Structure 1
Amino acid sequence: MTAAHLAVAPLTQHQTAASVDARTAPYAALLLRVTLGALFLAHAALKVVVFTPAGAAKFFGSLGLPPELAYLTIAVEVIGGVALILGVFTRWVALALIPVLLGAIVLVHGPAGFFFTNANGGWEYPAFWAVALAVQALLGDGALALRRSR
């Protein structure tokens, strides 16, 4: 097999039309965007309401991370979540949030193994979430976005 066999050729207009329904794709992107945004807000709310910011900072410290990183994480989850829900620079926001999930995998969930049902939660869920953010970045803003990405 040569490098030419491994290269991905761009889709033709016919192939694109056959594989993506242009009528529903904007709504699929909207559904994904709003769901991802709501998940980020839910995780921020968990850190604020249930754990409290001070408790989240203590947890981050117990992992050997700077406790202040908890406050930054909460802010990123709130700002990113709101931006996704509203459709403000969706592609860029989705790409910017991927490192947050990769950090969660490497620094928090990785040692627990793959399955999220493992004790201390594995990295399955944050990995899926990171892939969903990548898909969102590829799909774009979708319907009803306030500020289109470029």
Structure 2
Amino acid sequence: MIDARTAPYAATLLRVSLGLLFLAHAGLKLFVFTPSGTAQFFQSLGLPGTAAYLVILAELAGGIALVAGIYARLVAPALIPILLGAIITVHGPAGFFFDNAGGGWEFLALWISGLMAVALLGDGVYALRPTSLTRATLR
């Protein structure tokens, strides 16, 4: 049974947490690896360097949209291909566990599950574009 009183707050907590993760990863690419360094890394994987800039932009825009609660039901699943790409190209070959060389893919799989939950739950409360999360829609 879902508690209709607290479910909107849980949706908000999940939405904001996932958005902050995307902002953190975009910040890592911008300020630590630098955009050109990220592009070089993408090229070393056989991907076009321009894809790095698109990923950074998607992480920034998607992270902001999730934190703010702007079209979260659409933004959340739209970000999943970025994580699937990271699994396929970098983390998947390293294995499941994060402590393997190159990191594992379990964190990304959990992140994808969280994004799917946001897509199903909606924005929650304190969103700039709230969805109608009523008792009737929670049943």
What TM-score do the two structures reach when normalised by structure 1?
Answer: 0.85
1:135 aligns with 2:131: no
**Residue aligning to 2:130:** 148
Q: How many angstroms apart in 2 are the aligned matches of 1:60 and 1:121? A: 16
**Residue aligning to 1:76:** 58
Aligned residue type for 2:5: R
Partners of 2:77 and 2:119 within 8 A in 1: yes
Q: How many angstroms apart in 1 are the aligned matches of 2:4 and 2:131? A: 18
1:40 aligns with 2:22: yes
Higher relative contact order by CA 8 Å / sep ≥ 6: 1 or 2? 2
Three-state SS of the structure 1 residue aligned to 2:92 is: helix
**Residue aligning to 2:81:** 99
Partners of 2:95 and 2:104 within 8 A in 1: yes
Q: CA deviation at 1:148?
A: 3.2
1:63 aligns with 2:45: yes
* Paired residue total: 132
CA displacement 1:6-28 (0-9 Å, x = unmatched): xxxxxxxxxxxxx1000000000
Q: How many angstroms apart in 1 are the aligned matches of 2:131 and 2:26? A: 24
Q: How many angstroms apart in 2 are the aligned matches of 1:27 and 1:39? A: 18
Q: Which has the larger radius of gyration?
A: 1
Partners of 1:90 and 1:149 within 8 A in 2: no
**Residue aligning to 1:14:** none
**RMSD of Structure 2 on Structure 1 (CA):** 1.1
1:90 aligns with 2:80: no
Partners of 1:29 and 1:139 within 8 A in 2: yes
Partners of 2:15 and 2:66 within 8 A in 1: yes
- Change beyond 3 A, Cα 1:73–1:149: farther
CA displacement 1:38-66 (0-9 Å, x = unmatched): 00000000000000000000111111111
Partners of 1:33 and 1:85 within 8 A in 2: yes
Three-state SS of the structure 1 residue aligned to 2:93 is: helix
* Runs of 4+ more than 6 Å apart: none
Aligned residue type for 1:36: L
